Chain A
Amino acid sequence: MKHLIDIKDLSTDEIDELITVAKDIIANKEKYSKKCERKKIATLFYEPSTRTRLSFEAAMMELGGNVLGFSSANSSSAAKGESVADTVRVIGGYADIIAMRHPKEGAPLVAAMKSEVPIINAGDGGHNHPTQTLTDLLTIQCEKHRLNDLKIGICGDLKFGRTVHSLITAMSRYKNITFVLISPKELKIPDYVRKDILEKNNIEYVETKDMEEYMQDLDILYMTRVQKERFFNEDDYIRLKDYYILNKEKLEKAKDDLCIMHPLPRVNEISTEVDDDKRACYFKQAKYGKYIRMALILKLLNIK
């Protein structure tokens, strides 16, 4: 039985297969509408989430299946002190597959070690969020029609942003990828990502503080939010939160087919005036998230 805990659990062929299935789902929704009839997904969310939980639930519903679960630790047996391992062993008797979000890093792995049904990591603290990465890959494939030969700008919090680290890890499998890493010096990419992923795989990259310096060269601009919960010092957060704000003026030099992405939720980092720009892909990206999760559920349940 296979789980998805870390994007590294999937081979490049498996990722390509998921993208192919997701694209087929987008083109032939009816064909998939009963694939998970009588199947249930349990969404065990120990911390609040809007997009990810609803995306998993919508994905299962569109496959004809059903949904059960909880959306905060307070409304679960965790409040009584039950361990993650015990919870999944119980829920495994009620559901065919489990999507779990937990504030503690490694909780979904603990679940996978004990579970009798497939576990999907729907985010464990600042650690992994593999279905966001799959969403990003499907978005790039659908919008740019390739995963090779891309210049990708990533802007904002590159230090704490788990989506950024996973995206760099995933994209480093593909050919001729160049990264432009845009951040203030306090939020630069951590050393282990620079050394263990970029340099180890001979990936070309530049680091800059200036959002506009390479704007005209980019195929993708991936914006991120500076997350308040990652800071111990509120002054640092306030100083850095509005460091980058993407607006129409900053996009003047950008390519016509630039793809602007954001894992959402956004705060101020993308001005709402950009929302109507044809290059803004972040709401489509959220929708792609549902399709790739449908493909993933099918794969983990071994349904063709």
Chain B
Amino acid sequence: MNIDSIKNGFVIDHIEAGKSFEIYNYLNLGDLDTSVAIIKNAKSNKMGKKDIIKIDENTNINLDILGYLDPNITVNKIINGEIVGKFHPELPERLVNIIKCKNPRCITSIEQELPHICELTDRENVVYRCKYCEEKVNR
């Protein structure tokens, strides 16, 4: 199967097989007015199978989220058809409106317009807590 290489944009590589749609949704890629390719179950020497997302535009995407969603992901930045940067997104210090606090006692449970803010409190064990009620939050 052929997917055209991109000129300017991002290639999100080494996505755990089957996770690409979740990442597509978290990054709100459906809102972009540009070509986005999702490649599922691509062959990978390292992972056996992997997913890949290609975005054909140097758009302003919050890639920090990727560090939270899957720490093994590689992001390649492409300019004029060349890879100019390759990085593994780190765990972001805070996530805004990415995950919702599910604590029924939290103020966010009754005030719908509040942003759901989660802060990284334990990097080693990847623990995020709701900024308001401090409950541990999970995806």
Interface residues of A (CB under 8 A from B): 83-85, 102-107, 109-110, 124-127
Contacts and interface: CB of A to CB of B under 8 A. Distances in A.
Contact of B132 (A83, A85, A109): A109
Interface in B76-116: 103, 105-111, 113-114
B99 to A, nearest CB: 16
Contact of A84 (B103, B111, B130, B134): B111
B113 A83 contact: yes
Q: How large is the interface on B (under 10, 10 to 19, 20 to 34, 35 or more residues)?
A: 10 to 19
Interface of B: 103, 105-111, 113-114, 130-135
B105 A110 contact: no
A127 B114 CA distance: 19
Contacts, number: 44
A84 B108 CA distance: 11
Contacts of A107: 107, 132
B109 A104 contact: yes
Given A105-B132, A127-B133, A127-B134, A110 B111 contact: yes
Contacts of A109: 107, 131-132
A106 B113 contact: no
Contacts of A83: 111, 113
- Identify the interface centre among A103, A105, A110: most chain B CB within 10 Å of its CB: A105
Given A104-B107, A105-B106, A110 B132 contact: yes
A222 B21 CA distance: 53
